[in-house]
Amino acid sequence: MKKKKINVAVTGLNAIDSPGPGVPVIRALRDSKLFDVRIIGLSYESLEPGIYMHDIVDKTYQIPLPTAGKATLLERLKYINSIEKIDIIIPNFDAELFNFIKLADTLKKELKIKTFLPTLEQFEERHKSNLPEFGKKHKIKVPYSKLIFNVKDIPSLRSEFTYPVVVKGKFYDASIAYSPEQVATYFNKISAKWGLPVIIQQFVHGQEVNVTAIGDGKGNTIGAVPMRKQYITDKGKAWSGISIDDKKLMSMTQKLIKSTKWRGGMELEIIKDSEGDYYLLEINPRFPAWVYLAVGCGQNHPEALVQMALGENVKPFKKYDIGKLFVRYSWDMIVELEEFEKISTLGEL
């Protein structure tokens, strides 16, 4: 079967120690049996490694930081689209999704660029700060949490929490604190980077399991692959993981997607305690950085997302391979200074 040629723009090219999902999403699309993809990378900084992976990314353009707002982003995308004729954009960062969701209709009507993203309601209700209410609504256990806005709120935490606690940023970052002093340290670090509020969450002892999944927006699970972390970095990121057989976890994922009518990719971060109970820690509203494991297990979630963005009917994946591992590695690319100068000054490479 002849592959359909499409131009796909992808963000999240920072394949570093806390990697973005962009490069694995691109690898999945390169493996597609349906599409012949030209990849347009969208970067925020000049040293995102994906910019220089010329066998993976065909052309890269810098785009404004999410704080610049959706109007500035739209103007930049208009320029890029005038050159590249983009068919689909796949954003891969939590912090940028609000702008892309708000622009989705405009991109489709004015620029003929398609997306397949969560609705604004779905995006907002699964925020870390809203997770307790989300858990009640969808009948899922969630560790007790509280929002704090000032270091003065920290001493009173003893009346509501037992140490250790997890200190989380509203977009990224999470650290385990064993004392009020550590909470204060992490509060200052996280709030300086991601703003307020900072979330304090009760630490749950157990085994962390994650799921990468994709929903069709109608309540159907198109695909889902659960994974247990095998090796975790000091930033809490999985550097190695293995696909597992966990029917209870799969059932939980399918019920959640049905209840929320989730649209697009997602990652569930879950703790399974010693009693066998599952606690939802986070819902990331996009593919995780380990999504390529799903491809290795027989489910190409990014390919399915492209199909749905194009309005095609996609049959749910029936199975996945159990016992497949991913192991990350790093390597040094040699890059010409001229390339770095070009992306830094001209904003494209």
pLDDT at 239: 87
320: confidence class by pLDDT, cuts 50, 70, 90: very high
pLDDT at 173: 83
Q: Is the pLDDT of residue 237 over 80?
A: no
pLDDT at 200: 94
152: confidence class by pLDDT, cuts 50, 70, 90: very high
Tokens representing 239?
A: 């550097």
Q: Is the pLDDT of residue 19 over 90?
A: no
321: confidence class by pLDDT, cuts 50, 70, 90: very high
253: confidence class by pLDDT, cuts 50, 70, 90: very high
Beta strands in the chain (DSSP E): 4-11, 35-43, 59-62, 88-90, 145-148, 165-168, 174-177, 198-202, 207-216, 221-232, 238-243, 263-272, 278-284, 325-327
Phi and psi at 54, nearest 5°, equal -70, -15
| Single-letter residue type at 332 | D
Judge whether 116 and 263 are in contact, CB under 8 Å: yes
Tokens representing 318?
A: 């029936």
pLDDT at 329: 87
Tell me the average pLDDT across 239-255: 95
Characterise 26 by phi-psi region: left (phi > 0), alpha (psi -120 to 50), beta (else): alpha
* Alpha-carbon gap, residue 89 to 75, rounded angstroms: 15
Interval 89-104: pLDDT, tens? 999 999 999 999 999 9
Residues 6+ apart with CB under 8 A from 24: 287, 289, 290, 291, 292
Domain residues of the chain, as ranges?
A: 4-116+332-345, 144-202
Q: Is the pLDDT of residue 120 over 80?
A: yes
pLDDT at 246: 95
pLDDT at 64: 97
Name which of 212, 215, 203 is nearest 244 in CA terms: 212
Interval 207-216: pLDDT, tens? 999 999 999 9
Q: DSSP 3-state assignment of 203?
A: coil
Tell me the average pLDDT across 27-56: 96
231: confidence class by pLDDT, cuts 50, 70, 90: confident
Q: What's the topology of domain 144-202?
A: Dna Ligase; domain 1 (3.30.1490)
Q: DSSP 3-state assignment of 50?
A: helix
* Alpha-carbon gap, residue 75 to 261, rounded angstroms: 31
| Single-letter residue type at 242 | I
- Comparing 147-151, 173-177, 220-224, 296-300, the range with the smallest average pLDDT is 173-177
Judge whether 213 and 223 are in contact, CB under 8 Å: yes
Q: DSSP 3-state assignment of 178?
A: coil
pLDDT at 48: 95
Evaluate whether the domain defined by 4-116+332-345 bears CATH number 3.40.50.920: no
Q: Is the pLDDT of residue 235 over 80?
A: no
Tokens representing 327?
A: 């192991």
Average pLDDT, rounded, for the chain: 94
- Return the biggest CA–CA distance within the chain: 65
